[in-house]
Structure 1
Amino acid sequence: MTLTELRYIVAVARERHFGRAAEACHVSQPTLSVAVKKLEDELDLKIFERGGSEVSVTPLGEEIVRQAQSVIEQANAIKEIAKRGKDPLAGALRLGLIYTIAPYLLPELVRHIIEHHPQMPLMLQENFTVRLLEMLRTGELDCAILAEPFPDAGLAVAPLYDEPFMVAVPQHHALAQLREVSAEALKAETMLLLGNGHCFRDHVLEVCPEFARFSSDAEGIRKSFEGSSLETIKHMVAAGMGVTVVPQLSVPRDAPEHLRFVPFSAPVPSRRVVLAWRRSFTRYEAIAALRNAVHACALPGIQLVRA
């Protein structure tokens, strides 16, 4: 049993396809397939079920792949220990972020890292919460910036900040004239929502639960729209198609024409944004540096959590 074979089975489990796993490992498919079969023969069990266009992992195979990932991480940790002796922050940090955080936090965060920690470049991945959690589990990411709550995956978590929500309305909408808006006042409005898979959609539905189930008549259908991004939805709000709820960081410092952002009245809905990483990840200094970099960013309207 070799580390190379362990890397191959982790890749196959991640890709669910021998060809794609071989590409990811920069080897030919026959080389990878022979190595995986050799390991299965050595262990006298099947790690993968081969059939159809997709490979599945057997129940025992799941345990073996998890252990293989742990062994690979421990082997990598030896190199990290050696690096830390020279520079604790040396080496790229693979960071994931959800779609409703990345475009608003990253520009200043990346500038800060480049300026203060150029030896630790960020390798970035923007995705849904569920996908980022899977990538953390398989070792494709080192850490991720997420919004709570999310499924407990046995991760280490450090809070970053609490972010209030605001209401985005067309410039000449009646709500645009108010100093603050209650969640109750939104019940009569046409609400534009992010599509399924976005955790911020769930946050909005907690504020306005009446939009969780739309009626089947035309009026009910008219009252809903599912967008792929907050920016798309904000443009549609500006066009007069309805209103929406947005996180504070997505509010531009100079309000665009035809769009107004109104605060919520108390109690103001918000979300807790956190940094999550695998407990087996050994670059503690890198995690601390990233968290400090987030806290050093100018985040207007945000309550930093330093505990």
Structure 2
Amino acid sequence: MTLTELRYIVAVARERHFGRAAEACGVSQPTLSVAIKKLEEELDVKLFERGGNEVSVTPLGEAIVRQAQTVIEQASAIHDIARSGKDPLAGPLRLGIIYTIGPYLLPELVRRCIDMHPQMPLMLQENFTVKLLEMLRTGEIDCAILAEPFPDTGLAVAKLYDEPFVIAMPAQHPLAKRESISAEELKRETMLLLGNGHCFRDQVLEVCPEFARFSADADGLRRSFEGSSLETIKHMVAAGLGITVLPQLTVPRDGQGGSASHLRFVPFSDPIPTRRVVLVWRRSFTRYEAIAALRNAVYACKLEGVTRLS
């Protein structure tokens, strides 16, 4: 067997499709299929079930794919070790980041990395937490910036910062001039939420659980609207369609949002809800200096309103 064949079976297991796997590997589908068939014949096992439009991995295939991924990582580590003898930070670092952090941290983080470590370019991937964890497992990315909690996957974890939540509302809202607002006071408001799949949606619903479902009271029907991004929701709030809860770093640094003064951001009263943002990576990843450099670059960012963690 060859490393190329192992990369092919890992790609098919990830994509669940021979055509997409071949495209990801930069080869034709017949080339990939022949190589996998050859490997199956060599091992005398069936790795994949071919049926319909989707490919599934056999139980024995799952174990072989996991081992193949380990072998690929170890082979890559040989190159990393050789490279680190010259410069521990040389070469790109593949970083994943969730949607509710990326737009607000990456612009400054990328600039900091370029200034501090120009020999270590960041290759970026934005996605949901579940997808990034899968990409870490399969070696598609080296590390990820996530918000806790997430499933325990045996990853190494370094704390970055605790980020408080704030309430965003139209500038003319009756609560807009308040110094702070309690979660209890939000129960009678129309709350705009992110859609399913975003971990921040779940964190907001922990603060305001009554918005997890449609409900009725004496004032009529209260509804939760779902948006695809925090920026979309902020525009909806500015248009007077409701209020929302946001992470601190989404608040513009001049305290205003949208155009002119359409939004107001008001802190929560104690206890203030927060989320913990962390850097995670596979324990088998050998470029410890690159992880440390990335963490230091995060700490070099302004991160206004958050609590840095060491």
The alpha-carbon deviation at position 219 of structure 1 amounts to 4.5
Deviations 1:247-283 (A, max 9, x none): 0000001213210000001110000000011111111
**Secondary structure at the counterpart of residue 293 of structure 2:** helix
Deviations 1:158-215 (A, max 9, x none): 1000000000011011111100000000001110100000000001000001111213
Unaligned runs of 5+ in 2: none
Equivalent residue for 2:295, pick from 282, 291, 296: 291
Residue 110 of structure 1: aligned partner: 110
Residue 85 of structure 2: aligned partner: 85
- Calculate the TM-score normalised by the size of structure 1: 0.97
Residue 263 of structure 2: aligned partner: 259
Q: Find out whether 1:190 has 2:194 as its counterpart.
A: no
Equivalent residue for 2:277, pick from 267, 273, 278: 273
Q: Which amino acid aligns with 2:291?
A: I
Q: Which amino acid aligns with 2:290?
A: A
Residue pairs, 1:181-260, within 5 angstroms: 181-215=181-215, 219-220=220-221, 223-254=223-254, 255-256=256-257, 257-260=261-264
Q: Find out whether 1:50 has 2:43 as its counterpart.
A: no
How many angstroms apart in 1 are the aligned matches of 2:237 and 2:52?
45
- Calculate the TM-score normalised by the size of structure 2: 0.96
How many angstroms apart in 2 are the aligned matches of 1:31 and 1:99?
36
The alpha-carbon deviation at position 41 of structure 1 amounts to 1.1
Q: Identical aligned pairs, as a percentage?
A: 80
How many angstroms apart in 2 are the aligned matches of 1:4 and 1:202?
40
Aligned residues: 305
Q: Which amino acid aligns with 1:208?
A: C
Residue pairs, 1:149-164, within 5 angstroms: 149-164=149-164
**Secondary structure at the counterpart of residue 176 of structure 1:** coil
How many angstroms apart in 1 are the aligned matches of 2:43 and 2:168?
59
Q: Find out whether 1:165 has 2:161 as its counterpart.
A: no
**Secondary structure at the counterpart of residue 278 of structure 2:** strand
How many angstroms apart in 2 are the aligned matches of 1:5 and 1:289?
34
Q: Which amino acid aligns with 2:141?
A: L
How many angstroms apart in 1 are the aligned matches of 2:99 and 2:122?
17
Residue 62 of structure 2: aligned partner: 62
Deviations 1:96-132 (A, max 9, x none): 1101000000011000001111110001011111111
Residue 302 of structure 1: aligned partner: 306
Deviations 1:14-62 (A, max 9, x none): 1111111112112221111111111111111111001111111011111
How many angstroms apart in 2 are the aligned matches of 1:60 and 1:151?
24
The alpha-carbon deviation at position 2 of structure 1 amounts to 1.1
**Secondary structure at the counterpart of residue 242 of structure 2:** coil
How many angstroms apart in 1 are the aligned matches of 2:296 and 2:220?
48
How many angstroms apart in 1 are the aligned matches of 2:230 and 2:21?
34
How many angstroms apart in 2 are the aligned matches of 1:21 and 1:173?
51
Residue 10 of structure 1: aligned partner: 10
How many angstroms apart in 1 are the aligned matches of 2:274 and 2:226?
21
**Secondary structure at the counterpart of residue 215 of structure 2:** coil
**Secondary structure at the counterpart of residue 71 of structure 1:** helix
Deviating above 6 A after TM superposition, structure 1's stretches of 4 or more consecutive aligned residues are none
CA contact (8 A) 2:176 2:264 kept: yes
* RMSD of aligned Cα (Å): 1.3
How many angstroms apart in 2 are the aligned matches of 1:132 and 1:68?
20
**Secondary structure at the counterpart of residue 174 of structure 1:** coil
The alpha-carbon deviation at position 229 of structure 1 amounts to 0.6
**Secondary structure at the counterpart of residue 153 of structure 1:** coil
Q: Find out whether 1:97 has 2:97 as its counterpart.
A: yes
How many angstroms apart in 2 are the aligned matches of 1:190 and 1:25?
47
